[in-house]
A and B are shown apart, each in its own frame.
Chain A
Amino acid sequence: MDIQNLRIQIERIDTLPTIPKVLRKLLKIIENPRASMTEISEFVSSDPVLTSRVLKVVNSPVYGFPGRISSVSQALILLGLNVVRGMLLGVSVFEVMEKAMNGLWRHSLGCAVAARVIAKKKGIKEPEEVSIAALLHDIGKVALSLKFPEDYKIIIDNTDKQSLFIFESEKNFFSVNHSDAGSWIAQRWNFPRNLIEAIEYHHKPHLSKTVPLNAAIVHFSDVLVRGLGFGFAGDHFVPPVNPASFQLIGLSDGDLKDVITELEDLLEDGDPLSPEE
């Protein structure tokens, strides 16, 4: 399939499915009439698909400010509880590749946590913005597996057998990788420029023009979380850190140690995707 055609297929996606575990918790939350905005917001921000759904709606032309909102908590306030509940009722789940998807969800969540920790360490004004970008950075993998489930199984297989990075094996198969697919979706859904770039350049953060620091943090979080062995991003390797980006973030050895310690604690304690109680 040529790239143009592939892009059309990906852009036709209207909604992405989540994983069954998330859906079960989701139903509990929206059926509880007393669930607060904060609770719903925290829950939505722990799932890349729910987050992308909320951002898609709030950035649609219907509300009149497309491409402006990149924070879940802000999106929920602007949409209102009724709209949010109604929208979340329609969420569906993946029926295939459950194991791979569970791994990807943990990886995405881990990255979001890591990015938030780093953003806070660096005193960035809106850490949520970076954290959401990290949560969504692999949304292209979700899109590709949804649209081409059989092909994506082959890709995962090849990645394993040929000891490749997942983006290499995607590229061998589709001649593009998940960061392209993710950025197509993000553009199609009117996501703000900062999110589009962080998704598009998480493997090449030095190419980001508008938000080089955000892209660098997302990139580094991806590497860090793989290194800690949290979740599964589709391959078994830890890619190298882009040196220029690491320099841009500017973490000292001490900072880095703090970040890793805090991250490990957070991932152990507050993992919403851990086996259910």
Chain B
Amino acid sequence: MSSPNWKICSKMEIPCPRKNNLNTVVVVTKDMLLCSLVERTLKDVYNLVFFSNIESSLDYIYNSLPHLLVLDVGKGEPSVISMLNQLKSDPIFGQMPALMICDDVYILPAWDDLLVEDFVRKSAIETDLMLRVNLCMARSERVVEVNPLTRLPGNIAITRQITGRLDKGEIFSLSYADLDYFKPFNDKYGFSRGDEVLKMMGRLVLNIVKNRQPVNSFAGHIGGDDFTFIMEPDLAAETALEIMDTFDRIIPTFYDPEDRVRGFIESVDREGNKRTFPIMGISIGSADNVERHFSHYGEFTELVSEMKKYAKDSSGSSFKQDKRR
């Protein structure tokens, strides 16, 4: 909850669809006719890898995490379905979409017992398969990984934003915000009140950023009380100041009336000692690549983190911007 570890984020990057390469679709079926039909339909648009049964496909899937699994379950072969469910119950492979092909006579079970994202009946393959596959792909690209608390984009999406912009040679400012004295607040009032503060903070950052720059801005939630936002360099300072000012005005209502009046709470510090802590504030650090050149996004984020630490040294809400011009 203290300083962010951006380097960890970079290792969490999962393979994402590359535009110049075709997306990989694993097709599992015993049916030779179906095989050639699928091949004819999809081969120009997707990189297809065929397997005759799910067992033999697993090694490939575990090693390369394809973009989509198309699985022929026939009339609902129980062994195939339990294999699929096992595969999908792992969080990494759970996010790989699975499209089921089934016989027209198969009576579909409850979706809890069949972990697929979509299905096509055999009689509809010629008309629908391509559309379904495309929809599965579009859906998984649309779903940004989000922080479950604030629903703001999380680490992977944040990393992608920063690297994507750097790769395109975009000029932008990156800011990093966290709360002062969040931990003692959480310890004193409990995590559910702490979560309320984080949800409020998420809305605040998102809406102030979007108000000041409706297009091509970005707000994300790194985790805990760490947030980030991306804007045009000229807008970063005024946005940060508005976030701080608004936060300072709203935050007292999250304290009990007595504490609000006193202006501090009693809680324990990291060493377990009882002491008093002031009402929470925000520290924001920010830097841009107007004058600087960053070859790797890690350099950029390190500088932003440094600015944030520097802001953290002043008492109350504060903002520090890298001024190298």
Chain B neighbourhood of A70, CB < 8 A: 253
Question: Which parts of A58-97 form the interface with B (CB within 8 Å)?
Answer: 63-65, 68-71, 74, 77-81
Chain B: minimal CB distance from A191 (Å): 12
Cβ-based interface call for A210 (8 A): yes
Cβ-based interface call for A13 (8 A): no
Chain A: minimal CB distance from B317 (Å): 16
Chain B neighbourhood of A17, CB < 8 A: none
Contact of B246 among A77, A81, A126 (CB under 8 A): A77
From DSSP, what is the main secondary structure of chain A's interface residues?
Answer: loop
- CA–CA, A10 and B63, complex, Å: 61
Residue of A nearest to B260 (CB): A125
- CA–CA, A68 and B253, complex, Å: 6
Contact in complex: A192, B196 (CB < 8 Å): no
Contact in complex: B203, A126 (CB < 8 Å): no
Contact in complex: A65, B200 (CB < 8 Å): yes
Cβ-based interface call for A244 (8 A): no
Contact in complex: A80, B206 (CB < 8 Å): yes
Contact of A64 among B195, B208, B246 (CB under 8 A): B195
Chain A neighbourhood of B122, CB < 8 A: none
Chain B: number of interface residues, binned into ranges = 10 to 19
Chain B: minimal CB distance from A38 (Å): 11
Q: What is the total of A-B residue contacts with beta carbons within 8 Å?
A: 51
Return the CB mask of B197-220 against A: 1 if under 8 Å, else 0: 101100110111011000000000
Chain B neighbourhood of A37, CB < 8 A: 211
From DSSP, what is the main secondary structure of chain B's interface residues?
Answer: helix
Contact in complex: A80, B207 (CB < 8 Å): yes
Chain B neighbourhood of A126, CB < 8 A: 249
Contact of A78 among B149, B197, B204, B257 (CB under 8 A): B204
Question: Which parts of A21-77 form the interface with B (CB within 8 Å)?
Answer: 37, 63-65, 68-71, 74, 77
Chain A neighbourhood of B210, CB < 8 A: 80-81
Contact in complex: B253, A80 (CB < 8 Å): no
- CA–CA, A74 and B247, complex, Å: 9
Residue of A nearest to B198 (CB): A64
Residue of A nearest to B214 (CB): A81
Cβ-based interface call for B250 (8 A): yes
Return the CB mask of B209-240 against A: 1 if under 8 Å, else 0: 01100000000000000000000000000000
Contact in complex: A78, B207 (CB < 8 Å): yes
Residue of A nearest to B251 (CB): A68
- CA–CA, A79 and B202, complex, Å: 11
Contact in complex: B207, A79 (CB < 8 Å): yes
Chain B: minimal CB distance from A75 (Å): 10
Given A80-B203, A210-B257, A65 contacting B208 (CB threshold 8 A)? no
Cβ-based interface call for B254 (8 A): yes
Contact in complex: A68, B200 (CB < 8 Å): yes
Given A68-B254, A69-B250, A126-B249, A77 contacting B208 (CB threshold 8 A)? yes
Chain A neighbourhood of B249, CB < 8 A: 71, 74, 126
The residue among B149, B197, B199, B207 with the most chain A CB atoms within 10 A of its own CB is: B207
Chain B: minimal CB distance from A1 (Å): 36
- CA–CA, A80 and B204, complex, Å: 9
Contact in complex: A77, B207 (CB < 8 Å): yes
Contact of A74 among B149, B206, B246 (CB under 8 A): B246
Contact in complex: B250, A74 (CB < 8 Å): yes
Residue of B nearest to A68 (CB): B253
The residue among A65, A74, A126 with the most chain B CB atoms within 10 A of its own CB is: A65
Residue of A nearest to B250 (CB): A74
The residue among B204, B206, B249 with the most chain A CB atoms within 10 A of its own CB is: B249
Chain B: minimal CB distance from A37 (Å): 6
Chain A neighbourhood of B211, CB < 8 A: 37, 77, 80-81
Return the CB mask of B249-266 against A: 1 if under 8 Å, else 0: 110011001000000000
- CA–CA, A69 and B196, complex, Å: 12
Contact in complex: B204, A63 (CB < 8 Å): no
Chain B neighbourhood of A80, CB < 8 A: 203, 206-207, 210-211
- CA–CA, A77 and B249, complex, Å: 12
Chain B neighbourhood of A68, CB < 8 A: 196, 200, 250, 253-254
- CA–CA, A210 and B257, complex, Å: 8
- CA–CA, A79 and B250, complex, Å: 14
Given A69-B250, A77-B211, 20 additional A-B pairs, CB 8 A: A63-B200, A63-B203, A64-B196, A64-B199, A64-B200, A65-B197, A65-B199, A65-B200, A68-B253, A70-B253, A71-B250, A74-B250, A77-B203, A77-B204, A77-B246, A79-B207, A80-B211, A81-B211, A126-B249, A210-B257
- Identify 17 residue pairs between A and B in the complex whose beta-carbon atoms are under 8 Å apart, listed by A's number: A37-B211, A63-B200, A64-B195, A64-B199, A65-B196, A65-B197, A65-B199, A68-B254, A71-B250, A77-B204, A77-B246, A79-B207, A80-B207, A80-B211, A81-B207, A81-B211, A126-B249
- Measured CB to CB, the residues of B under 8 A from A are 149, 195-197, 199-200, 203-204, 206-208, 210-211, 246, 249-250, 253-254, 257
